[in-house]
Structures are given as C-alpha cells and as structure tokens.
Chains A and B, each alone.
Chain A
Amino acid sequence: MAPDKQTIVRTNGKAPRWGMAIDLKRCVGCQSCTLACKVENGTPPGIFWMRVLEKEEGTYPVARKVFLPVRCNHCSEPPCVPVCPTGASYKRKKDNLVLINQDKCIGCRACVVACPYQVRFISEDAKGYYGDELTPYEAESYKKWQPRTVQKCTFCVDRLETGREPACVQTCPTRALVFGNLNDTESEIARLVRGRAHFQPRAELGTDPSLYYLT
C-alpha cells in the first residue's frame, strides 16, 4: 500500500507507520477477524496471529462481557527485536512493520518470551486440521511460515503490498478495526486517535505500540 503523492507531501516524506485503531465500543466479539486471519495466513491448529480476548465484568444482574482483539502491535520500540540473536526479527524501515525473516530464525524463543503481548508463536510441526495429510489449501498456505520458527501477525504484508487492507479489517462486520498510516495526520486512523479517548496496550513499557484501543 504505497502512499500517494499528497500523503507523501503531508507526511513530509516520512515512511508510513502502519497501525490499527480498535474501537472497543464497536467490537462484539464475533471472532470473524480471528477466522479471516486464519483463512488469509493459513496458520496451523492452535495458533492465532489475531484473536479476541473475552472477559466477564460486573456481577449478576449487572454483568457484561468485554472483548479485546489482540495481535502483534508492530511497536515503534519492539522488545522482540533487540533480543533476537540472529536479526531474524526486524523492523522494516520502509513502513515500520515488525517482521520475521524465517530463514534466519533459529527458534530460540527469546522473542516469544520478550513480547509483552504474547502474540508470537512457534509451531512445532506443519500438521493440518484434518489429520496428517494437508488439504490442498493448507499445503499452499503453509508456505507462508516454517515449522519451529517464530510466526506472528504481519498486518497481512502481502495484501498491503498489493494495495489491500489486512484481512481482519476487511472482514470486521462492525468496522471496529480501522487500519491506516499513523504518520499521515489526515488519515482516518490519525483522526480517530486524535479525536477519541484511547489507550495503547502496556504503554508504560515504552514500546509505543502501533495499536490504539478507542474507548
């Protein structure tokens, strides 16, 4: 998703900082983003690059469920990157995405442990959902990651590079997820963050996540 000329002028030529605003007032916990992510990225059983946490609050009769979609925060200061001994985890300069070069990953799990958001995963094998033999879809989609290396949300980097939004954003039926360039002051996400009460997860750690929860 390359920025247009107007955006480049507005952002003073700064590289995009892709981020997501998540409207907690709109999220209904339907998990369609979770499924869209699975379909798009072909993650193996038990691994969810994106998921919606649930929690019950209050007591009967004034009780309710709250939902919190979580995924890699693509932090500006990602704690997972400096702990990586091989440079497999890195922050891409051209768009500030935190990505993994799976050919360099040795599977030491240091980044999995260092991530305060618990959104990095290691699949020990490449088993499918329906027994030992992969379905044709799994055989194709499992090419996106290697067993015994770290995997995580990439903000659907393949889609971004062809000008499309991440699958979870496109799927969300309540428009709770808004994706965009945080460095572009006129983008929808920047306006939402400016205009609405919000928090960044565990901001006290100084990670400066690119995820903003609108409250």
Chain B
Amino acid sequence: MAHEFNMDLTPQEEWSWLVAIDLFLGGLGGGLFLLYQVFGLSSAVALLSLGLVVLGGLVLLSELGHPLRAWRALLKPFSSWISRGVIFVSLFLIFGALYVAPTLEYFSWLPWGDDPTARKTIGAIAGAAALLVTLYPGFVLAASPSIPFWNSPLLPVLFFSHSLMGASGLVFLLAPVALNGAALPAIRVVGEVLIATNFALIAIYLLTLRGSGLAAREAVRRLSEGALGWTFQVGVVLVGMILPLAVVIWLPSAAAFAGICILIGALLFRYCVLKAGVYVPFAMT
C-alpha cells in the first residue's frame, strides 16, 4: 500500500474483510466447542465447531501473500501471537477431533472412547485450546503499539466474550439439531447474559479509549460517525445485541432469528475493530 505524503491520522488498511471473516469463524468455532462441552450438546455441534475453525484458517491462508510458506508460522511461539495462534488452532483441531471421534458411530472403536481418564484429558486439552483460539486474536491486535485503539488488555477479553456470544447465536439458530437434551432456556439465559456483558464491555472499552490520546479518540469517532459508524451502531450494537436481546427475552419462539442477528453483529464487530485501527501520526508526537 502506498502511504500519503502527509501527516494526517490514517487508518490501517492492511487487514480488512478477509481477516475479519477469519477472526469471526475462528472465534465462533472455539466458542461453539466450549458451549458444546459445557452444555453437552450433540456431536454435530462439535464437528461444526471444528469445521468453522478449518474454514477460518482457509480464509486466512487465502489472505496470505505466500500461503505455501504458512507452515513457517509455527516457528516463533515465544514472541509472536500469530505463531501462538497457529499452534492453538492446530492443537484445537487435533484434540477436538480426537475428543469427538469416539462419539461418532464410524469411529466408536477408538480405544480412548471407553477410557474416561483419557477422554477427560483429551477433552481438557481440546477445551483449553478452544479457549485460547477465542482469546489469541485479541492478543494479536493488542500487541501492536502503533494502533492505540487495539493496544489494550481488554481487547482479548472482548474477543473472547464476543466469540461466546456468537456461538450462543449459532446454537439458537441450530437449536433443533444442537440441543441434544440440554435445556434451551438455560442456553437462552447464557445468551442473554453474554449479550449484556458484551454491551457493557464494549461501552467500557470505548469510554476508556476515548481518553487515550488522539488516535484512539479518532478511532472512537470513526465508530460513531460516517459509514463505519453506521456499520458499528446499526450492525454491531442494534442488530447484533439490542435486537436479539429483546427477541430472546420477549419472543423466545423467534430465537433462531435472534441467532442470525447475533451472528451478523459478531462478524461486523470484527470488521469494525479492524477498520477503526488508526495509527498515531508519525509527526504529531
């Protein structure tokens, strides 16, 4: 990308829709696996969660300049959050698959299916990896000192809670196949709490960063005005949180619709966070 020969506030333009889709799919997959484990949902949900993470990885590969060299991203886990993320995703896919496989008829012969200790261990590793898959994108962004809007310890928490919220939306949408005896009302309550939590976290995040210097203030302004402002306020806040919360509370029979709204909001949230990344101007310090 060519940079302007001026000293204005400039947003980052390197990461956009494809990265947003990857973060969305990865977070959704990790969050869904956690809900699968907590609520004992059907194996189809676990398979879906693995599929979503694979799909997210493929989207990310298509974004890379040299996808065939992607294996090299495993080499720097002691310094790079992207490298750590690749390892978390790999662990999640391996242990998630090992955990789910014995529950499928075709793989029911697998020996650890009958060994509670082994299955518990594999499940714990898969669960921990799923948790890290939801957290690491926030750390990737927060590690950039160049963009104050991202450079906050709250961002990984926000990504984690948004991943869980998105996953709850997907469960609402897939309730007939996903619930496997688990009570829909319980998941609905979790969904309500997650939406309210995310609403509060986003508000705290924006209020905190509004006072964190020129570039962060500009990022918050971008989220409240113009095209990105509309995307954020209508897409993320209204469609992604307020509307589904109202539907889940007052019209539980339309939970699937609320699920779609949550998913739209969860995708747009990633996009808005990426596009609101504004550099501190080089010469204004």
Residue from A47, A86, A105 whose CB has the most chain B CB atoms within 10 Å:
A86
A52–B66 CB distance below 8 A:
no
Chain A interface secondary structure, helix, strand, loop or mixed? loop
Q: Which chain B residues border A117 with CB–CB below 8 Å?
A: 146, 282
A105 to B65, CA, bound (A): 8
Stretch in B50-58, B68-76, B109-117 touching the partner: B68-76
B82, B143, B146: the one within 8 Å of A116 (CB):
B146
Q: Which chain A residues border B66 with CB–CB below 8 Å?
A: 105-107, 148-149
A53, A82, A148, A201: the one within 8 Å of B5 (CB):
A53
A164 within 8 A of B: no
A54, A82, A104, A114: the one within 8 Å of B72 (CB):
A104
Complex interface residues of chain A between 103 and 153 (CB less than 8 A to chain B): 104-110, 112-118, 121-122, 147-149
Instruction: Convert B62-93 into 0s and 1s, putting 1 for each residue whose CB lies closer than 8 angstroms to a CB of A.
Output: 01111101101111100111110010000000
Complex interface residues of chain A between 170 and 205 (CB less than 8 A to chain B): 201-202, 204-205
Complex interface residues of chain A between 74 and 122 (CB less than 8 A to chain B): 79, 81-88, 104-110, 112-118, 121-122
A201–B14 CB distance below 8 A:
no
Q: Which chain B residues border A1 with CB–CB below 8 Å?
A: none
Q: Which chain B residues border A54 with CB–CB below 8 Å?
A: 5-7
A48 within 8 A of B: yes
- Shortest distance between the CB of A102 and any CB in chain B (Å): 10
B146–A114 CB distance below 8 A:
yes
B145 within 8 A of A: yes
A15 within 8 A of B: no
Instruction: Convert A36-73 into 0s and 1s, putting 1 for each residue whose CB lies closer than 8 angstroms to a CB of B.
Output: 00000000001110011111000000000000101000
Residue of A nearest to B147 (CB): A113
A149–B65 CB distance below 8 A:
yes
- Shortest distance between the CB of B171 and any CB in chain A (Å): 32
A86–B5 CB distance below 8 A:
no
A202 to B66, CA, bound (A): 32
A85–B82 CB distance below 8 A:
yes
Given contacts A87-B76, A106-B72, whether A55 and B283 have CB atoms under 8 Å apart is yes
Residue from A68, A83, A121, A149 whose CB has the most chain B CB atoms within 10 Å:
A83
Q: Which chain B residues border A83 with CB–CB below 8 Å?
A: 79-82, 140, 143-144
A122 to B14, CA, bound (A): 9
Q: Which chain A residues border B82 with CB–CB below 8 Å?
A: 83, 85, 108, 110
B147–A107 CB distance below 8 A:
no
Q: Which chain A residues border B70 with CB–CB below 8 Å?
A: 106
A107–B279 CB distance below 8 A:
no
- Shortest distance between the CB of A29 and any CB in chain B (Å): 10
B10, B83, B144: the one within 8 Å of A114 (CB):
B144
Given contacts A113-B12, A114-B144, whether A85 and B65 have CB atoms under 8 Å apart is no
Instruction: Convert A1-32 into 0s and 1s, putting 1 for each residue whose CB lies closer than 8 angstroms to a CB of B.
Output: 00000000000000000000000000000000
B183 within 8 A of A: no
B285 within 8 A of A: yes
A106–B64 CB distance below 8 A:
yes
B6, B69, B75, B280: the one within 8 Å of A53 (CB):
B6
B2, B7, B69: the one within 8 Å of A48 (CB):
B2
Residue from A104, A110, A117 whose CB has the most chain B CB atoms within 10 Å:
A110
9 A-B pairs closest in CB distance: A107-B65, A148-B65, A46-B2, A116-B146, A86-B72, A85-B83, A82-B79, A85-B82, A85-B73
Known: A53-B5, A83-B144, A85-B82. 13 other contacts (CB 8 A): A46-B1, A81-B79, A84-B80, A85-B76, A86-B75, A86-B76, A106-B65, A106-B70, A112-B1, A113-B147, A114-B146, A116-B280, A147-B65
15 A-B residue pairs with Cβ-Cβ distance under 8 Å, sorted by A, are: A46-B1, A51-B3, A55-B7, A83-B80, A84-B80, A85-B80, A104-B72, A106-B70, A106-B73, A115-B146, A117-B282, A118-B10, A122-B14, A149-B65, A205-B145
Q: Which residues of B contact A (CB under 8 A)?
A: 1-3, 5-7, 10, 12, 14-15, 63-67, 69-70, 72-76, 79-83, 86, 140, 143-147, 277, 279-280, 282-283, 285
Q: Which residues of A contact B (CB under 8 A)?
A: 46-48, 51-55, 68, 70, 79, 81-88, 104-110, 112-118, 121-122, 147-149, 201-202, 204-205, 207
